């Protein structure tokens, strides 16, 4: 057998090995990407600078996501503005959220607990604050049909306990029975008016009626900034959905100025002046 014959034999063996490895890799990737037919679909919507989640039954959550252990979930990731990246590090989930495009990824959460959701694509000055959490309920939990409330919808952490100022919220605006604080249309765009009025004067004991007239969810949270160590201690409406309302009790607030901001859009600031 000549030297050339051995060379062709080696070439044939290499081609066969590469074909086998390539086919096996393709099959493995196909199995990993194939979404189970019984998977529940959740839409993960990225927006500067928070996450919104829409369940198949119409339930929406902002800043946190409730799922059940052992159930396959198919995530449809989208963006309302710039490119974001949906990442749950503990479960190696990573998928870009691109405007005008739907990207999918699926997962089965096998361990109950609370895990971080973050954006892994630089999406603006407040990129570092674009965090949420996923709450994995035990597979044995009965009657799992989560419907979020304002007290449990929070960005980057557990839903706030009832603050000392006392706040409540409702799904639709109610007739104002006290001083009114409005979140105007376009407030989520930096540079636009954030709250109207920017400084609201009230009397101790008044109940402030907060109305969100914008198309984005917002909060009214006491404290100058997100980093304020006393953030949310005086009052915190938690998430107020578009066209929804909330109330802030001033009964326990001391006279003076109480700065506040939006937890979702920290550049939105205002002042509550208690007389």
Count the helices and strands in the chain (H runs, E runs). Answer: 1, 18
The mean pLDDT value for 136-153 works out to 57
Which residue from 275, 182, 242, 219 is spatially nearest to 60, judged by alpha carbons? 242
Residue in the block written with tokens 């960005």? 155
pTM: 0.61
Who wins on pLDDT, 84 or 13?
84
Who wins on pLDDT, 16 or 138?
138
pLDDT at 189: 86
Backbone torsions φ then ψ of 22, nearest 5 degrees: -65, -45
Who wins on pLDDT, 67 or 152?
67
CA separation for the pair 118, 243 (Å, rounded): 27
Class of domain 40-137: mainly beta
pLDDT at 62: 85
Report domain extents, the chain. 40-137, 162-275
Who wins on pLDDT, 219 or 141?
219
pLDDT at 31: 52
Pairing of strands 256-261, 221-222: antiparallel
CA separation for the pair 275, 272 (Å, rounded): 10
Which residues neighbour 234 within 8 Å (Cβ) at sequence distance 6 or greater?
A: 163, 164, 165, 222, 223, 253, 258
- Length of the chain (residues): 275
Q: How many CA atoms lie within 13 A of 188 on its CB side?
A: 19
Q: Is the pLDDT of residue 61 over 50?
A: yes
The mean pLDDT value for 111-133 works out to 91
The mean pLDDT value for 18-25 works out to 62
Residue in the block written with tokens 């074909």? 19
Topology alike, domains 40-137 and 162-275? yes
| Model pLDDT for residues 212-225, shown as the tens digit of each residue | 999 888 999 999 98
pLDDT at 63: 85
> Could you tell me which CATH number the domain at 162-275 has?
2.60.40.420
Q: In what order do the strands lie in the sheet with 64-68?
A: 64-68, 131-137, 113-119, 84-88, 93-97
pLDDT at 128: 85
Q: Is the pLDDT of residue 100 over 90?
A: yes
Who wins on pLDDT, 272 or 8?
272
pLDDT at 4: 63
Average pLDDT for the chain: 82
Which residues neighbour 27 within 8 Å (Cβ) at sequence distance 6 or greater?
A: none
Which residue from 218, 211, 179, 204 is spatially nearest to 258, judged by alpha carbons? 204
CA separation for the pair 78, 142 (Å, rounded): 31
**How many of the other CB atoms lie within 10 Å of CB of 243?**
13
CA separation for the pair 19, 94 (Å, rounded): 29
pLDDT at 6: 64
Q: Is the pLDDT of residue 172 over 60?
A: no
Q: Is the pLDDT of residue 155 over 60?
A: no
Which residue from 56, 93, 98, 51 is spatially nearest to 78, judged by alpha carbons? 98
């Amino acid at each position: 057998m000549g030297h050339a014959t051995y060379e062709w034999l080696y070439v044939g063996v290499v081609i066969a090995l590469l074909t086998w490895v390539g086919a096996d890799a393709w099959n493995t990737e196909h199995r990993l990407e194939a979404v189970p037919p019984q998977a529940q679909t959740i839409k993960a919507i990225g927006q500067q600078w928070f996450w919104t989640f829409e369940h198949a039954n119409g339930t929406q959550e902002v800043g946190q996501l409730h799922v059940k252990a052992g159930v396959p979930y198919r995530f449809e990731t989208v963006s309302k503005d710039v490119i974001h990246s949906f990442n749950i590090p503990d479960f190696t989930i990573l998928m870009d959220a691109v405007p005008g495009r739907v990207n999918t990824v699926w997962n089965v959460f096998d361990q109950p607990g609370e895990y971080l959701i973050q954006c892994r694509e630089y999406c603006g000055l407040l990129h570092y604050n674009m965090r949420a959490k996923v709450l994995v309920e035990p597979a044995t939990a009965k009657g799992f049909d989560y419907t979020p409330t304002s007290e449990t919808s929070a960005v980057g952490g557990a839903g706030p306990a009832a603050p000392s100022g006392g706040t409540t919220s409702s799904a639709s605006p109610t007739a104002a029975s006290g001083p009114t604080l409005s979140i105007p249309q376009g407030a989520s765009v930096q540079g636009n008016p954030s709250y109207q009025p920017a400084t609201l004067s009230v009397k101790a004991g008044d109940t402030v009626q907060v109305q969100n007239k914008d198309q984005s969810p917002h909060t009214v949270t006491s404290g100058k900034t997100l980093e304020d160590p006393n953030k949310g201690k005086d009052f915190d409406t938690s998430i107020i959905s578009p066209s929804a309302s909330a109330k802030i009790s001033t009964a326990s607030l001391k006279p003076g100025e109480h700065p506040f901001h939006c937890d979702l859009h920290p550049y939105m600031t205002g002042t509550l002046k208690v007389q």
